[in-house]
A and B are shown apart, each in its own frame.
Chain A
Amino acid sequence: MHPAIQGIFTIVIGVSVCGAYFYASNWVLDNAIFPAKGVKAGRNINRANMLRPWLFLLPALLALSIYLVYPGFESLFLSLTERLPGNRYSWVGLDNYRKMLVDPKFGEALFNNLLWLLIVPALSTAFGLMAAQLTDRISWGNAAKSIVFMPMAISFVGASVIWKLVYDMRPAGQEQIGVLNAIYVWLTESDPQTWLTQIPWNGFLLMVVLIWIQTGFAMVILSAALRGIPEETVEAAIVDGANPFQIFFRIKVPQIMPTILVVWTTITVTVLKVFDIVYAMTNGQWETQVLANYMFDKLFRANDWGVGSAAAMIIMLLVTPILFLNIRNARREME
Chain B
Amino acid sequence: MRTDNPQRTLKWAVHLSVACLVALWIFPTLGLFVSSFRTVDQIGTSGWWAAMFPSEQNLVVRTAKPETQLKIGDLYVIEGELFAADKDVTLLAWGTSSKAIDSYVAGEVGALRKGGTIQVDAGGRYRMQNTQPFSGSRGQRVFATVTVPPEFTLANYQKVLFDKNNVEGMAQAFIATMTVTIPATIIPILIAAFAAYALAWMNFPGRALLVAAIVGLLVVPLQLALIPLLKLHMNIGIGKGYLGVWLAHTGFGLPLAIYLLRNYMASLPKDIIENARVDGATEFQIFMRIILPLSFPALASFAIFQFLWTWNDLLVAKVFLIDSSGQTVVMTAKIVDMLGSRGGNWEILATSAFVSIAVPLLMFFTLQKYLVRGLLAGSVK
A34 interfacial by beta-carbon distance below 8 Å:
no
Residues in B whose Cβ lies below 8 Å from that of A102:
none
Whether A300 lies near B191 (C-beta < 8 A) is no
Q: A7-B182, A54-B204, A157-B314 are in contact. Are A162 and B31 (CB under 8 A)?
A: yes
Assess whether B221 is interfacial by the CB under 8 Å rule: yes
Least CB separation from B340: chain A residue = A283
The residues in A between 61 and 99 inclusive whose CB is less than 8 angstroms from any CB of B are 61, 63-64, 66-72, 74-75, 78
A212:B191 contact, CB within 8 angstroms: no
7 contacts between A and B (CB under 8 A): A10-B243, A53-B207, A179-B31, A212-B28, A258-B381, A319-B220, A334-B211
Interface segment among A103-111, A146-154, A198-206: the answer is: A146-154
How far, in Å, is A84 (CB) from chain B's closest CB? Answer: 14
Give A207 to B376 CA distance when docked, in angstroms: 25
Q: In the bound complex, do residue B25 and residue A315 qualify as a contact, i.e. CB atoms below 8 Å apart?
A: no
Does A172 lie at the interface of the complex (its beta carbon under 8 Å from any beta carbon of B)?
no
Q: Assess whether B375 is interfacial by the CB under 8 Å rule.
A: yes
If A71-B225, A71-B228, A165-B346 touch, whether A138 touches B220 (CB-CB below 8 Å) is: no
The residue of chain B having its C-beta at the shortest distance from the C-beta of A315 within the complex is: B221
- A51 to B246 Cα, complex, angstroms: 30
B273 within 8 A of A: no
Say yes or no: A323-B21 contact (C-beta < 8 A), given A14-B187, A19-B190, A331-B208: no
Given A56-B195, A158-B335, A162-B31, A312 and B223 contact (CB-CB distance below 8 Å): yes
Residues of B within 8 A of A272 (CB): 221
Q: Chain B 5-44 against A: per-residue CB contact (8 Å), 1 yes, 0 no?
A: 0000011001101100110011111011001000000011
**Quick check: is A135 within 8 A (CB to CB) of the other chain?**
yes
* Contacting pair A224 B376 (CB below 8 A): yes
User: B94 in the interface, Cβ–Cβ < 8 Å?
Assistant: no
Size range of the interface on A? 35 or more
Contact check: which of B29, B204, B311 meets A162 at CB < 8 Å?
A: B29
Whether A71 contacts B47 by the Cβ 8 Å rule is: no
Contacting residues, chain B, for A131 (C-beta < 8 A): 18, 21
Q: B19: shortest Cβ distance to chain A, in Å?
A: 8
Scan residues 200-225 of chain B and give those whose CB is less than 8 A from a CB of chain A.
Answer: 202, 204, 207-208, 210-212, 214-225
Any B CB within 8 A of the CB of A252 = no
Q: How far is the CA of A177 from the CA of B248 in the complex (A)?
A: 40
Q: Does A39 contact B (CB under 8 A)?
A: no
> CB of A322 within 8 A of chain B?
yes
CB contacts under 8 Å to B, within A1-57, are 3-4, 6-7, 10-11, 14-15, 18-19, 22-23, 26, 30, 49-50, 52-54, 56-57
